[in-house]
Amino acid sequence: MLPFGQSPEGVQLDATHLSRMKNTFLMILLLSASVLAEPLPQVGDVYQKLSYDLTGDGKPEQIGLAAYKINKEAEAYFGQLTVWSPSGKVLWRAPQAKSHTDAFAFGVFPFGISPLEWIGDLDGDSRIELLSPRPQSDVRPPTYRRYRWTGKGFEALAPKMLLESTPTSDIYSWTTPKQWDGVHPLAWVMKISGPSKQPTAQICSSKSGGLLWWGEARVEGAPTGLRVTRWTTPLAPARSQFRHLPRSHLV
């Protein structure tokens, strides 16, 4: 775990932001403890699976992560992206990653986790995308690793963040990852979940001075990313929204 106030890239946040973020950070530590307490898988164990019809034949394939390179002392491991046919035959495997920075690096690490978060046609272009957040240990905007199904396997696309295009626009655009000072107002998608045809986004908004607000909304694809169609949990100060904090970004 990084020292409080320092991002993985080494950016120092100012004293005002640190003060306002303190309670949020402590709650994150409590929530993440339950994730770290789960038993370690064995090599080859499939510890996560999603179902999706990749071939369009009406029969869903299985997309999952099989554990490898397990570090018991660090309670960490990598996951190899694998696709199985409806009958269980392996159709494709991603290359095993050597580092958490590799394109196909999934897993559980001391500084965060990279799970399979969502799969579907997010932008309505009839192509299937798989999303996975890069590991991080705080509530900064996550950088999503994105993968596209080619018919034979998944290809890696450029990693992007989902940031609100303009304030109060409710449109979140794929944006090249960038540093954020933790103080200037910003809104971003923290997690995507739900069925492929009706995804839900957990959204974080940092108001002036670093005050965090949380909310949840139904979203649909937009030309540049996502558009909110309906707020199911309107944005509110984070203190009342802790129950909605997305665990997949909080290790």
Q: Is the pLDDT of residue 76 over 90?
A: yes
Q: Is the pLDDT of residue 130 over 60?
A: yes
**pLDDT given at position 64:** 98
Confidence label for 35 from pLDDT (cuts 50, 70 and 90): very low
Q: Is the pLDDT of residue 1 over 60?
A: no
Q: Which of 122, 134, 152, 147 is nearest to 225 (CA)?
A: 122
**16 token code pair:** 């005002």
**pLDDT given at position 139:** 81
pTM: 0.81
Strands (E), 40-139: 46-52, 61-71, 76-84, 90-93, 106-109, 112-114, 118-120, 129-133
Give the CA-trace dihedral at 230, 199, 164, 244, to 10 degrees.
Answer: 80
